[in-house]
Amino acid sequence: MKLSSVFMARGALARLATLRLKPSQVAYKVLKFSRKFDSEVSIIERQRTKLIMDITGAKEGENAQIKQGTPEMKDFFEKFAPILDTDCELGLCPLKFGALLDAVDTDEGNALSAQDLALLEPLFESDEE
């Protein structure tokens, strides 16, 4: 799995973490994976922030931003893309994606969008043998 999959799925996994799951092996595995996932995301965020600081020349504690459409934004994407293309050591959540969907369906108030599901699926074991 690439860091880009982790970076893109951070919002979807955060939404998954807010859903009501019955206490079970599924809930435990999701919680355990979420903690490892959050650790990986924090590393990516530190790299992203450092890159923005380097490009803008901002000092520690300053609010550094890069405006869309600027040469600095192009520079940022050129330097951030190889970071996101790096293989991730996180590994897949030891849970079949179908089992996750079944667990989510147990509470009527739970809902994930099709986009959330598309972003989450690469993080879980495949249902195909």
Work out the angle at residue 48's Cα, subtended by the Cα atoms of residues 46 and 53, and round it to the nearest 5 degrees.
95
Give the list of residues 6+ apart from residue 107 with CB closer than 8 angstroms, or none: 19, 20, 21, 22
Q: Tell me what pLDDT residue 60 has.
A: 81
The model's confidence at residue 108, banded by pLDDT at 50, 70 and 90, is confident
Residue 91 Ramachandran class (φ > 0 left, ψ -120 to 50 alpha, else beta): left
User: Using CA atoms, how far apart are residues 106 and 16, in angstroms rounded to an integer?
Assistant: 13
Which tops the pLDDT comparison, 59 or 107?
A: 59
Q: Tell me what pLDDT residue 82 has.
A: 96
Task: Give the chain's count of helices (H) and strands (E).
Answer: 5, 2
The model's confidence at residue 103, banded by pLDDT at 50, 70 and 90, is confident
Q: Please write the tens of the pLDDT for every residue from 27-77.
A: 899 999 999 999 999 999 999 999 999 999 888 878 888 989 999 999 999
Cβ-based neighbour number of residue 80 at 10 Å: 18
Work out the angle at residue 3's Cα, subtended by the Cα atoms of residues 112 and 103, and round it to the nearest 5 degrees.
25
Q: 48-57, 77-86, 100-109 — which is least confidently predicted?
A: 100-109
Give 7's strand partners.
none
3-state secondary structure 58-89: CCCCCCCCCCCCCHHHHHHHHHHHHHHCCECC
Cβ-contact 48, 77 below 8 angstroms? no
User: Using CA atoms, how far apart are residues 84 and 44, in angstroms rounded to an integer?
Assistant: 8
Please give the model's pTM, rounded to 2 decimal places: 0.80
